[in-house]
Amino acid sequence: MAVTHTLEADVLRRQDPEMADILAGELARQSRTLQLIAAENFTSPAVLAALGSPLANKYAEGYPGARYHGGCEIVDMAERTAVERAKVLFRAEHANVQPHSGSSAMLAAYAALLRPGDTVLALGLPYGGHLTHGSPANFSGRWFDFVAYGVEAESGLIDHDQVRTLARTHRPKAVVCGSIAYPRHVDHAFFRDVADEVGAYLIADAAHPIGLVAGGAAPSPVPYADVVCATTHKVLRGPRGGMILCGSDLAERVDRAVFPFTQGGAQMHAIAAKAVAFGEAARPAFAVYAHQVVANARALAAGLAAEGLVIVTGGTDTHMLIVDPAPLGVDGRTARGRLMAAGLVLDTCALPHGDARGLRLGTAAVTTQGMGEAEMARIAALFAAVLREETDGARARTEVRELTGRFPPYPGR
Ligand SMILES: *Cc1c(COP(=O)(O)O)cnc(C)c1O
């Protein structure tokens, strides 16, 4: 593997040193700073190999056995393998592995189930809803009539009473559960019950937790939702891309909604890489990984709480934590800037109360690197020291370099 990668890197360097330098610079950045963005991870060299394979050359509109192009017999095997692995991994009757991204999966889910103008109930954007959950800047907000539920200002937990009341009042055609910033498990049985009461479809947007589901570290939405949309690149650790899981009853509608309704030719290199990632996620080692991701998130939350930061919802069930740094005298934007300068890379996010911004971080990437609870305690201490300006940027960066140097994401590269 290492030889192949060295050779490939050399090909690029010989032909295009300018671009080779940019790629090397990004590898160095990923290796020498702490990747705490909740949506990011490090794919395996095997996934990267599939992504960089000649499957990238193949046009394959349609589905295995029914393509609009010749020469698809090999890539058909790749897609059938990806679909079979996804079905087994998530115990789903049907899987579509063609969506180019999580957003494309959501677009296809709406296209399969809804007509323009239909009412959809989803978590509001200020509370952690995704752009595809009704943002006016997104197709969803433009083409559908979104009604937003929220979280309780005090607890940060989904306001279940409000969800039920809004569903009864607005009679949505679909209910969406799932978020970009909810650190707790979603109560899928509750959402199924609400959807059934008003005759709505239930769409689970499991972009974030689907990797934990694969590793048995989070409850699966598959038994409850009509359609499950997901990404393959977050905790799941595959290539950038999307996926849809559903029952046999909706299989044909979902497939037609992906192609030809919202997408063209499938990206066969990405589909092969998804199959590789599903294969990895089916192994016992991935279950260990998924549980360690959660243990690390809890250790990081406990460490940050001990330093005086507020952990929204009081903790986490997942890989993600939402943190209010206000008790340390900084808002989310200032905090992100200081942490960035120290080599800790993360996002700001909305908080359930007030206008101040908080911080969103996750442990999927650092756990892939092999870090455990001891490293989370160190990161929490460094985090607080940086925010309190008890350490200068150079000293903090040295500590980050020392820590990441012991856990290289791609050893030998
Ligand atoms: C990440 C995410 C998406 C979109 O994924 P992209 O691949 O960036 O389009 C959709 N919904 C939720 C809840 C997400 O977290």
Proportion of the chain in helix, strand, coil states, percent, rounded to 5: 50, 15, 35
How big is the chain, counted in residues? 413
Query: Which of 43, 81, 231, 404 is labelled catalytic?
Result: 231
Phi, psi of 191 (to 5 degrees): -65, -35
Is 274 one of the catalytic residues?
Answer: no
Q: What is the mean pLDDT of each run of 10 residues along the chain (413 residues)?
A: 56 94 96 98 97 97 97 98 98 98 98 98 95 97 98 95 98 98 98 98 98 98 98 98 98 98 98 98 98 98 98 98 96 96 96 90 98 98 96 92 96 84
Query: Which of 173, 234, 336, 338 is labelled catalytic?
Result: 234
Distance 41 CA to ligand 1 centre (A): 14
What single-letter amino acid sits at 98?
Answer: Q
382 and 400 in contact (C-beta within 8 Å)? yes
Query: Looking at the whole model, is its pTM more than 0.75?
Result: yes
- Nearest Cα residue to 132 out of 178, 168, 89, 86: 178
- Nearest Cα residue to 48 out of 310, 222, 233, 254: 233
Distance 232 CA to ligand 1 centre (A): 10
CB-based pocket (< 6 A), ligand 1: 39, 101-103, 106, 130, 132, 178-180, 205, 207-208, 231, 242
Alpha carbon distance 328, 116 (integer Å): 47
Distance 125 CA to ligand 1 centre (A): 13
Query: Which of 79, 205, 347, 375 is labelled catalytic?
Result: 205
- Closest residue CA from atom 6 of ligand 1: 102
- Hey, what domains does the chain have and what are their CATH numbers? 54-281 (3.40.640.10), 284-406 (3.90.1150.10)
Could you tell me where the DSSP H helices lie in 206-247?
Answer: 210-214
How high is the pLDDT of residue 225?
98
130: its two tokens: 């995704």
- Nearest Cα residue to 205 out of 173, 169, 170, 175: 175
Exposure class string for 376-392: b at 16+ Cβ within 10 A, else e: bebbbbbbbbbbeeebe
How high is the pLDDT of residue 8?
61
Alpha carbon distance 194, 189 (integer Å): 9
Alpha carbon distance 339, 324 (integer Å): 14
How many C-beta atoms lie closer than 10 Å to residue 373's C-beta?
15
Q: Let me know if 134 is exposed, middle or buried by CB neighbors in 10 A (0-12, 13-18, 19+).
A: buried
How high is the pLDDT of residue 5?
55
